[in-house]
């Protein structure tokens, strides 16, 4: 075997080990969102981030004296973020965002927020597993950029309330009910 072949084999082995030991977001989580492409001709991927439970728990231990942040991070299984620059048709990308949201609804995800403003589309969905929220997915696109975020783990409704207030969004009934049982 050549040096190049050995290096490729080692890289593949390392990727398998890292994928299995919690450094990347787990596909096996109930809150994992199986997402489509936003269109290879219309977008250019500028950031892909996948953080698994091992790194999230490590971050929780190093958040200082903020017990709320520690609890949130410790309860997460994974976080995936993809950021795309739109270099094609933004209307086509917004249509794909809508279709991704509908496809997730077909897979049991529930919409909790939909924002359509001039040139911007944002869809927020949650995935329930039993009596708890196991996943949150946010799909957003404007004229220049598209962002996809998938958070997996033990998510508490009060986490959404603070976020929606910060974004100056009205809470939908699903989130209101979940936040105030």
Q: Is residue 3 part of a domain?
A: no
For residue 21, what pLDDT is reported? 45
Q: Is residue 16 part of a domain?
A: no
Q: Is residue 30 part of a domain?
A: yes
A 10 A CB-CB count for 57 gives 15
Q: Is residue 9 part of a domain?
A: no
For residue 67, what pLDDT is reported? 78
For residue 8, pLDDT over 70 is answered with no
Q: Is residue 149 part of a domain?
A: yes
What domain range is 84 assigned to? 22-179
The model's pTM? 0.75
Number of structural domains the chain divides into: 1
pLDDT tens digits along 15-29: 444 444 456 677 778
Q: Is residue 5 part of a domain?
A: no
Q: Is residue 144 part of a domain?
A: yes
pLDDT tens digits along 138-172: 999 999 999 999 999 988 766 656 555 655 555 54
Q: Is residue 157 part of a domain?
A: yes
For residue 15, what pLDDT is reported? 47
Residue 82 near residue 148, CB atoms below 8 Å: yes
């Amino acid at each position: 075997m050549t040096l190049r072949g050995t290096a490729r084999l080692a890289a593949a082995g390392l990727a398998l080990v890292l994928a299995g030991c919690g450094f990347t977001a787990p596909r096996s989580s109930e809150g994992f969102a199986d997402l489509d492409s936003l269109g290879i001709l219309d977008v250019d991927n500028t950031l892909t981030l996948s953080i698994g439970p091992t790194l999230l728990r490590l971050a929780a231990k190093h958040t200082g004296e903020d017990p709320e942040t520690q609890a949130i991070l410790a309860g997460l299984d994974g976080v995936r973020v993809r950021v795309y620059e739109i270099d094609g048709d933004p209307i086509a990308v917004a249509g794909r965002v809508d279709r991704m949201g509908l496809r997730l609804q077909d897979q049991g995800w529930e919409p909790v927020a939909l924002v359509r403003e001039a040139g911007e589309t944002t869809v927020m969905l949650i995935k329930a597993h039993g009596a708890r929220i196991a996943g949150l997915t946010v799909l957003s696109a404007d004229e220049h950029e598209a962002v996809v975020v998938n958070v997996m783990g033990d998510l508490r409704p009060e986490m959404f309330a603070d976020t929606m207030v910060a974004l100056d969004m009205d809470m939908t009934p699903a989130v209101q009910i979940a936040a105030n049982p």
